A and B are shown apart, each in its own frame.
Chain A
């Protein structure tokens, strides 16, 4: 994690409160694996109610 990431994560924590953990998870997933990573994180959350989204646009 570089300085920019640290700065972004710090600001996300300050701005988003309890939503910040998900936001940071999404940000790191994007940094690591692009859109694929984001969809993976979202599907982890949605699996709690048996819903899944695909990697198509939107």
Chain B
């Protein structure tokens, strides 16, 4: 027998001060009392007795200490179930929290502490989640099932099925936190990407930190040096200004002089760098002439007549060297183009050569294929030729056969006639006939004599001739048959010979073409090589001449600058300026300027290196975290995140499968329980189905539809049913879930299941409860209500149907609560 609630004792539990006891009957137990009289506390005491601290873990109470009466430091609950089960839990305050001691006695054996919960789950087959799902029914349960929107109802039914655990599991996975950790790691890795380079450059982080100090010292030193140099530089500028102050109107000449001098010095340095000491037009002109002559010769050799003529007409003088060089280069370029053209031709011919080589290979392959065929056919062809030699061509043999057949036929007829006549004559002779048996003419002795002669004459047979003709005919027929068999082979042989002849001839033609092309390619190669060598040599020479022309131009400019400098120096000297002193100051300024530039460049480089080092080192947080460790951590986290993502998707699929399974299990039960609970004829059943819908941004959701069935099977959704019908469907569904689970509980707790309802629904609920018991769907119902009317409705219905019931009254008197059971 499954477990029912027999007795509950509470002491200092929530609003109940002191000890109180309630005994419960089988059938319906109604706990009735006004708001705040402790109805829900009674239900919660039963739940707490069964599942203890799980209520706090699952957040059904915020903290266990809230269960202790506010005037007390401890609370106790003792629950006695049928099947000899007794659970006792005691709570003692411990600061803000509470400490629990628990024990369960089953068939006289007591288990304590942590074993209590597991023993209860084992003996009842229902854990705290299941208990909340289908043993404890509140008005929220019923309303959620048959009122409100589909979405809320679906969530609730998922909860009834225990699938909310999967939803909650998915929601509880700390995906954002892991995502954040991944982002932070990625950022850190990105910022330390320079770290390996720094470690390889300086050896280690410590050495890099040493380098930071070194760089800071050097930078400080350089800044000091820069300051000193700047002071000297400023001093020199001031000195120069003072020197020039005495000479009015010379600034322009002085600036010109300094600029000319600077330019002259730069040019001198440049020419010295290239080793140019003395250069003149004559040597360049001679080199150009030489290039021109060799170019004309080569252009003519390669039939570039117009270009050769143009260049030949060119007259080179000391004044048109650059122009002449340009023209020579233009002519030279026509040779370069020719070389490119030759290369193009070679490429074109190479393609043709490849085609011809492919043709040669194909023709060789054909020959290789035809030769064995001929050798295979040759013996048969010889056989045919021998037959022709002996009997003539097949047409002649056929003709002879025809003739022999005609002749054989004629001889055979004659032989028949001869044989018949011989028989007649022998008949006349043997029977001594006096008249001819054929024409009736009388026969005399002479006739007999003639007959005898004639018989002798006719007795000579033609059989030998016939045999000869037959023998010849047979021989010719055999020969003809052989010839006809061999003839296709002979024809093929002749055709093959013809084809081979054709292939050989084509092979020779292609070979000859190939040789011609190869020769052309060799010629082009030779010409290209010669031309390339020439082009390379001339290009170097032209480049050298161009450089010489540029140097000559600079050399001439240098000469001009020297003259101009001397002229300006003279003018300044005439104006009384000591150019030697000025030049000395200018040189010092330049020197200091260069030095400053060097120091500043070094300062800039070292500052940049320092910044880079400091940035990279700061990104490690100086905790010396190896980037490879960070990378490993990142890889692990990314992999783990992907695993969780897969698990989330898997859980959603599993949820859908379990949902289908649950629907399968309870669907029929809903219908049959509905039939038991609903006595009218307008509805004959009920059911539940699930539809998967894509709700856009929300995603794919499963929506449950509870429905009733009209006679004939038409479905009616609950929105079109009356309140009583809805209540019946809701309770049918609840009970079907209750029954679908394999457990050992035979009671249902209903905590204020239908508050604020009208008379019709109250009566419907009262009837339904009596039917639960009457139809033996359940053995015991414990229901709380504040409604006297519901109590009356239930007791009346119970009386009418002969169902056991008990009414337990809760009375609230100030802070005191009492329990009265009138019909105990």
A residues lining the B interface (CB < 8 Å): 2-4, 7-8, 11-12, 15-16, 19-20, 22-23, 26-27, 30-31, 33-36, 38-39, 42, 45-46, 48-51, 53-54, 56-58
Complex CA distance for A27 and B128, rounded to whole angstroms: 15
Q: Counting CB contacts under 8 A, is B658 at the interface? A: yes
Residues of B within 8 A of A8 (CB): 166, 654, 658
Nearest CB of chain B from residue A17's CB, rounded to whole Å: 9
> When each residue 501-513 of chain B gets 1 if its CB lies under 8 Å from chain A and 0 otherwise, what string results?
0000000000000
Q: How far is B742's CA from A15's CA once the two chains are assembled, in angstroms?
A: 25
Residue of A nearest to B121 (CB): A2
Give Cα A49–Cα B58 distance, bound, in whole angstroms.
30
Residue of A nearest to B171 (CB): A35
What number of B residues sit within 8 Å (CB to CB) of A?
A: 40
A contact residues around B690 at 8 Å (CB):
none
Interface contacts beyond A22-B643, A22-B647: sample of 15 additional A-B pairs, CB < 8 Å, sorted by A: A2-B127, A11-B654, A12-B651, A16-B646, A23-B651, A26-B169, A30-B169, A31-B165, A34-B58, A34-B172, A38-B173, A38-B174, A46-B178, A56-B177, A58-B175
Q: How far is the CA of A22 from the CA of B165 in the complex (A)?
A: 16
Nearest-CB residue, chain A, relative to B634: A49
How far is A35 from B169 in the complex, measured between Cα atoms in Å? 7
CA distance A38 to B644 in the complex (A): 12
B633 touches A50 (CB 8 A): yes
CB pair B647–A53 under 8 Å, yes or no, is no
Are the C-beta atoms of B129 and A3 separated by less than 8 Å?
Answer: no
Q: How far is the CA of A20 from the CA of B169 in the complex (A)?
A: 14
Q: Which of A31, A48, A57 has the most CB of B within 10 A?
A: A31
CB-based contact A2/B177 at 8 Å: no
Residue of B nearest to A56 (CB): B177
Chain B residues with CB below 8 A from A57, complex form: 176
Kindly state whether residue B596 has any CB partner on chain A within 8 Å. Answer: no
Q: Does B741 lie at the interface of the complex (its beta carbon under 8 Å from any beta carbon of A)?
A: yes
Q: Is the CB of B654 within 8 A of A12?
A: yes
Q: Given the complex, which residues of A lie within 8 Å of B176, measured CB to CB?
A: 57-58
Question: Which residue on chain B has the smallest CB distance to residue A54?
Answer: B177
A4 in contact with B636 given A34-B59, A58-B177 (CB within 8 Å)? no
Q: How far is it, in angstroms, between the C-alpha of A26 and the C-alpha of B174 when the chains are bound?
A: 12
- Report the separation of the CA atoms of residues A23 and B648 in the bound assembly, to the nearest whole angstrom: 9
Q: How far is the CB of A4 from chain B (nearest CB, A)?
A: 5
Would you give the shortest CB distance from B650 to chain A, in whole angstroms? 4
Interface SS of B by simple majority: helix
The reply to whether B653 and A15 contact each other, CB–CB distance below 8 Å, is yes
Does the CB pair A49–B632 fall under 8 Å?
Answer: yes
Indicate if the CB atoms of B643 and A30 lie closer than 8 Å: no
User: Considering the chains assembled together, what is the distance between the CA atoms of A18 and B266 in angstroms?
Assistant: 78
Which B residues, 150 to 194, have Cβ-Cβ distances below 8 Å to chain A? 161-162, 165-166, 168-169, 172-178, 181
Q: Closest CB of chain B to A30's CB: distance in Å?
A: 5
Q: Which residue of B lies closest to A50 (CB)?
A: B633
Q: Which residue of A lies closest to B656 (CB)?
A: A11
Restricting to B363-378, which residues have a CB under 8 Å from any CB of A? none
Report chain B residues within 8 Å CB of A38.
169, 172-174
A–B Cβ pairs within 8 angstroms, 30 of them = A2-B125, A2-B743, A3-B741, A4-B161, A4-B741, A8-B654, A11-B658, A16-B650, A19-B643, A19-B650, A26-B173, A26-B647, A27-B651, A30-B168, A31-B127, A31-B129, A34-B59, A34-B168, A38-B169, A38-B172, A39-B172, A42-B173, A46-B178, A46-B640, A49-B632, A49-B637, A51-B181, A51-B637, A58-B174, A58-B177
**Interface membership of B657, Cβ < 8 A:** yes
**Chain B's nearest CB lies how many Å from the CB of A5?**
8
CB distance from A50 to the nearest CB of B (A): 7
Check if B130 is an interface residue, CB within 8 A of chain A: yes
The reply to whether the CB of B789 lies closer than 8 angstroms to some CB of chain A is: no
Q: How far is the CB of A54 from chain B (nearest CB, A)?
A: 7
Is B57 in the interface zone, CB < 8 Å from A?
Answer: yes
- In the complex, chain B residues 629-645 whose Cβ is within 8 Å of any chain A Cβ: 632-633, 636-637, 640, 643
Question: Counting CB contacts under 8 A, is B235 at the interface?
Answer: no
Contact between A7 and B172 (Cβ–Cβ < 8 Å)? no
**CB interface residues, B 48-62, toward A, < 8 Å:** 57-59
Name the residue of chain B whose CB is nearest to the CB of A42: B174
| CB-based nearest B residue for A35 | B172
B345 at the interface (CB under 8 A from A): no
Instruction: Kindly list chain B residues whose C-beta atoms are within 8 Å of the C-beta of A53.
Output: 174, 177-178, 181
CB distance from A12 to the nearest CB of B (A): 5
User: How would residues 56 to 90 of chain B score, 1 for a CB under 8 Å from any chain A CB and 0 otherwise?
Assistant: 01110000000000000000000000000000000
Residue of A nearest to B635 (CB): A49
Is B409 part of the contact surface with A, judged by Cβ < 8 Å?
Answer: no
In the assembled complex, the CB of B204 is this many whole angstroms from the nearest CB of chain A, namely: 23
The 4 closest A-B pairs by CB, nearest first: A58-B176, A11-B654, A16-B650, A53-B177
Judging by beta carbons under 8 Å apart, are A16 and B647 in contact? yes
CB-defined contacts of B59 to chain A, threshold 8 Å = 34
For B126, the chain A residues whose CB sits under 8 A away are: 2
Q: Which of A2, A27, A30, A56 contacts B741 (CB 8 A)?
A: A2
Question: Is the C-beta of B293 less than 8 angstroms from some C-beta in chain A?
Answer: no
User: Nearest Cβ in chain B — how far from A33, in angstroms?
Assistant: 6
Closest Cβ of chain A: how far from B57's Cβ, in Å? 6
* Bound-state Cα–Cα, A12 to B646, Å: 11
For A31, the closest partner residue in chain B by CB is: B165
Per-residue CB proximity of B121-136 to A under 8 Å, as 1/0? Answer: 0000111011000000
C-alpha gap A10/B172 in the complex (Å): 22
In the bound complex, CA of A57 to CA of B173 (Å):
9
Asked if residues A30 and B172 are in contact (CB atoms below 8 Å), the reply is yes
Q: How far is the CB of A19 from chain B (nearest CB, A)?
A: 5
B214 lies within 8 A of chain A by Cβ: no
| Bound-complex Cα distance A50 to B625 (A) | 13
Q: A22-B643, A27-B166, A31-B165 are known contacts. Are A2 and B654 too (CB-CB below 8 A)?
A: no
Taking the complex as formed, is B475 at the interface, i.e. its CB lies under 8 A from any CB of chain A? no
Q: In this assembly, does B661 line the interface, its C-beta being within 8 Å of a C-beta of chain A?
A: yes
B166: chain A residues at CB < 8 Å are 8, 27
Complex CA–CA separation, A15 to B655 (angstroms): 11
How far does the alpha carbon of A42 sit from the alpha carbon of B637 in the complex, in Å?
Answer: 11
Min CB gap B408→A, angstroms: 95
Contacting pair B658 A7 (CB below 8 A): yes
Q: Which of B8-67 contact A (CB under 8 A)?
A: 57-59
Inside 8 A of A31's CB, which chain B residues have their CB?
A: 127, 129, 165
- Please report the C-alpha to C-alpha distance between residue A15 and residue B654 in the assembled complex, in whole angstroms: 7
* Contacts A26-B169, A30-B168, A58-B177 given; does A3 touch B633 at CB 8 Å: no
Chain B residues, Cβ within 8 Å of A45: 640
In angstroms, Cα B536 to Cα A11, docked, is 81
Residues in B with CB closer than 8 Å to A36 are 57
Which residues from B are CB-within-8-Å of A19?
A: 643, 646-647, 650
Docked complex Cα distance between A31 and B177 (Å): 22
Q: Which residues of B contact A15 (CB under 8 A)?
A: 650, 653-654, 657
Which residues from B are CB-within-8-Å of A23? 647, 650-651
Contact assessment for A7 and B169 in the assembled complex, using a CB-CB cutoff below 8 Å: no
* B644, chain A: closest CB distance, angstroms: 8
A33 to B454, CA, bound (A): 143
Note all chain B residues with C-beta closer than 8 A to A12: 650-651, 654
- Residue from B125, B165, B743 having most chain A Cβ neighbours under 10 A: B165
Instruction: Decide yes or no: A27 and B640 within 8 Å by CB, A38-B173, A49-B632, A51-B633 being known contacts.
Output: no
A1→B284 CA distance, assembly (Å)? 106
Within 8 A of A (CB), among B525-545: none
A58 CA to B172 CA, complexed, in Å = 7
Residue of B nearest to A45 (CB): B640
Closest to B172 in A: A35
